[in-house]
Structure 1
Amino acid sequence: MKRWLAIVPVGALAIFGVVAAGQLINPEKGDFERRLRDAPGIAFQTPDGDPLTFPPSPTGGNIAVNLFASWCAPCEAEHKYIAELSEAYPDQVYGILYKDTLENGQEFLARLGNPYTQIALDPDGQGGLEFGLTGVPETFVISPEGKILDHIQGQLDQTSVKKIGEALKSAPPT
């Protein structure tokens, strides 16, 4: 009878592990990801030392903001998709160098090409946290009014590029 008592906690732990793994593999989106929210109101610093806020100016169109880092392998892999977006939507794709040095970021962009209209620096990562970043790379589409319209977590692919492109050419919600 005592052997059965030892199996009960092990079985419960196994069931818990299966449920937890299922949640990690396919998490449900919470209200944070679903609701329209404001872009952070902080001023990022550009490489020239100038302040940059998002949206950067009332140009009348939506913009994409991609958070990336030179040390991030998925950032390098998605770079061709960022370049594709930048070519299709000139002056609408911005980059934020997340928890990285300017020198490393410049070397990264010199090697792969610089598709960004402008780059901002986030050396301590606080700006990324205020965006709602869960880990680089991530891309946000922001309206001229400063509302985050879309949030793509992780490395871009052809499907997400199409989704971002549709958001970039869409009229902002009223």
Structure 2
Amino acid sequence: MKRWIAAIPVTALVLFAGLAGWELSHPKKGDFERISRTAPDRAFERLEGGTLRFAPTPNGRTIAVNLFASWCAPCEAEHPRLTALAEAHPGQVYGVLYKDTPANGRKFLEELGNPYADIVLDPSGQGGLDFGLTGVPETFVISADGEILEHIAGPLDAAAVKQVGEALAAPRP
């Protein structure tokens, strides 16, 4: 009789562990995003020489920074949408070549087209980590003073392009 009473807490613990495991292995998009943070305070090496900072932004306007790599299949898949976004907002879309070589990055952009106003290098991946990158591709919208306004994890879809486009077009004080 007393054995089944002892099984109740064990059963509850097993059910709780199973539910916790399920929730951790199936996060909703955005569950791990941080809000109200600034762009990395670092000078990135530019693909074509020199350095570039994203806080404050290089052109004094709100910009989108897309982290990509030539070895990233979703980066290739999102490229037409990224190109359309850059055409709609000239000079406001920047690229970070993440954990890749300049030669591979140039080849990738020669084949698909270069939508970026400028491209910086992140060969070690530390710059991506400073942004809060979880995996390429990801896009960050940064205000003129360096505040991250939007963080799109994963490839841009139609809804994300609209969201980023609205943020780029919005007047900022």
- TM-score band w.r.t. shorter chain: 0.7 to 0.9
- Aligned residue identity for 1:17: G
Q: TM-score, normalised by structure 1?
A: 0.85
Q: CA deviation at 1:25?
A: 1.9
Unpaired runs of 5+ residues, structure 2, are none
- Aligned residue identity for 2:114: N
Residue correspondence of structure 1 range 59-74 to structure 2 within 5 A:
59-74=59-74
Q: Please give the alpha-carbon distance, in whole angstroms, between the structure 2 residues aligned to 1:62 and 1:135.
A: 23
- Aligned residue identity for 1:25: H
Residue correspondence of structure 1 range 29-40 to structure 2 within 5 A:
29=30, 33-34=34-35, 36-40=36-40
Q: Please give the alpha-carbon distance, in whole angstroms, between the structure 2 residues aligned to 1:161 and 1:60.
A: 21
Q: CA deviation at 1:14?
A: 6.2
Of stretches 19-28 and 83-92 in structure 1, the one that deviates more from structure 2 is 19-28
Unpaired runs of 5+ residues, structure 1, are none
- Aligned residue identity for 2:84: E
Q: Please give the alpha-carbon distance, in whole angstroms, between the structure 1 residues aligned to 2:134 and 2:58.
A: 28
Q: TM-score, normalised by structure 2?
A: 0.86
Q: Is the 8 A contact 1:69 1:99 kept in 2?
A: yes
Q: CA RMSD in A?
A: 2.7
Give the 3-state SS of the residue equivalent to 1:114 in structure 2.
coil
Equivalent in the alignment of 1:78: 78
Q: CA deviation at 1:155?
A: 1.0
Distance 1:81 1:56, change over 3 A: farther
- Aligned residue identity for 1:47: L
Q: CA deviation at 1:170?
A: 1.0
Deviations 1:125-157 (A, max 9, x none): 111111111111110001111111111111110
Q: Please give the alpha-carbon distance, in whole angstroms, between the structure 2 residues aligned to 1:142 and 1:89.
A: 14
Give the 3-state SS of the residue equivalent to 1:33 in structure 2.
coil
Equivalent in the alignment of 1:50: 50
Q: CA deviation at 1:24?
A: 3.0
Deviations 1:71-114 (A, max 9, x none): 11111111111101001000000000000011111111111111
